[in-house]
Copies of this chain bind each other. A is one copy, B any other.
Amino acid sequence: MKLQRLEEKELIQAIRKEFRTRRQAGLTLGIGDDAAVIEADRKNLVVTKDLLLEGVHFFVSLHPPRLLGRKSLNVNLSDLAAMGALPRYALLGLGIPLRTGTGWIEDFFAGFKSAAKEYDVKLIGGDITRAKKVTLSVTLLGEGKNMIKRSGARPGHFLFVSGTLGEAREGLLLLKKGAKLGENRRVDKMLKAFLDPKAQVELGEKLSRLRAASAMIDISDGLSVDLGHICEESGCGAEIERERLPVSSELRSLQKRSFDFALNGGEDYQLLFSVPPNRLDAVSRLKKKYALTCIGKIFKEKGIFLVNSRGRRKTIQPRTWQHFNSGLVYSIT
């Protein structure tokens, strides 16, 4: 095993290779998707975990603790949503510095609890420890039948995205400039997108139940990067129409680079999924309840292409927005 500085994606691939297991009874899906899937009594047990670290994923001074409690659960819920699974149980690992005020902890747990209630998740365990920085580690267990992997997209399938994109990035920029919640409606929408994202659990579960999506991922690193994951796992390429990207009027009015934010913003926690032509009718019915936008199509040709309003086509490189600092990391080969 030899290492060189590389991107997180390569590290994950290297670990996957290093820890590869023979096809094993009971394990449906291991490292490399949004969550692991274990077979359990006709249903699948779906497991995911994420670390949220002070100074890397959030700043205590910018993030109200109640919303941080909600977000720590929602970013994990979003991974289950991307499998089409329903969340059931949570474990919370919490590291708190001694300086932390009691009010902060009360508010954090109030937020965690409100999100748990909203999604009918039970907290069943975890641990608490003193820490130098606030350290949040949530593990979520869910269940479902037809798990939607990243690898099922095929040429000719249509690409859809839920909600609007790019607002979380704008929200963080505004926060860092000193914006506060409750001062301006448009600004609030941006701030909330970053501080209090909502996982698309219900939508994910419906797409699974209707077998409407052939591949799905949640947009946490940004549309271009997460579409790159689908293309790579599915062995295909994709074309996006720039004019179709769902950008809210609020973001357009606040940010000149709104399309760039929508493409490479990150932390949107919306769902990106591919739909076979014969399942378009199912997605059309879901449009009555959910904001869903067809943004492009899957192609056989590798690469991700952006088509502008004049039909000009250019290759884009998946890139993510390293919001607090420069990113990782290493590769294990």
User: Which residues from B are CB-within-8-Å of A125?
Assistant: 30-31, 35-36, 47-49
Interface residues of A in 83-133 (CB under 8 A from B): 88-89, 91, 93-96, 98, 100, 102-103, 105-106, 109-110, 113, 116, 122-133
**Do residues A56 and B131 form an inter-chain contact, with CB atoms below 8 A?**
yes
Closest Cβ neighbor of A54 among chain B residues: B132
Partner of A96, one of B31, B116, B131, B330: B330
| CB of A307 within 8 Å of the partner chain | no
A111 smallest CB distance to B (angstroms): 11
A125 to B30, CA, bound (A): 6
| Copies of this protein chain in the complex | 2
A128 to B137, CA, bound (A): 12
**Do residues A38 and B141 form an inter-chain contact, with CB atoms below 8 A?**
yes
CB-based closest 8 A-B pairs: A41-B41, A3-B102, A36-B124, A137-B137, A36-B125, A51-B93, A19-B123, A139-B139
A4 to B106, CA, bound (A): 10
User: Which residues from B are CB-within-8-Å of A123?
Assistant: 15, 19, 30-31
Closest Cβ neighbor of A110 among chain B residues: B1
**Do residues A106 and B3 form an inter-chain contact, with CB atoms below 8 A?**
yes
| CB of A225 within 8 Å of the partner chain | no
Interface residues of A in 115-160 (CB under 8 A from B): 116, 122-133, 135, 137, 139, 141
**Do residues B130 and A56 form an inter-chain contact, with CB atoms below 8 A?**
yes
A62 to B303, CA, bound (A): 46
| CB of A300 within 8 Å of the partner chain | no
**Do residues B36 and A332 form an inter-chain contact, with CB atoms below 8 A?**
no
Stretch with Cβ within 8 A of B (4 or more), from A5-13, A244-252, A256-264: A5-13
A296 to B30, CA, bound (A): 45
Stretch with Cβ within 8 A of B (4 or more), from A163-171, A177-185, A308-316, A321-329: A321-329
User: Which residues from B are CB-within-8-Å of A38?
Assistant: 89, 124, 141
Closest Cβ neighbor of A117 among chain B residues: B19
**Do residues B328 and A130 form an inter-chain contact, with CB atoms below 8 A?**
yes
Chosen A-B contacts, 28 in total, with CB atoms closer than 8 Å, are: A8-B128, A12-B128, A15-B109, A18-B109, A18-B113, A19-B113, A24-B122, A27-B124, A29-B124, A31-B125, A36-B89, A36-B124, A38-B89, A38-B124, A47-B141, A49-B91, A51-B94, A51-B95, A51-B129, A51-B131, A53-B95, A53-B129, A56-B129, A95-B135, A105-B332, A109-B332, A128-B328, A137-B137
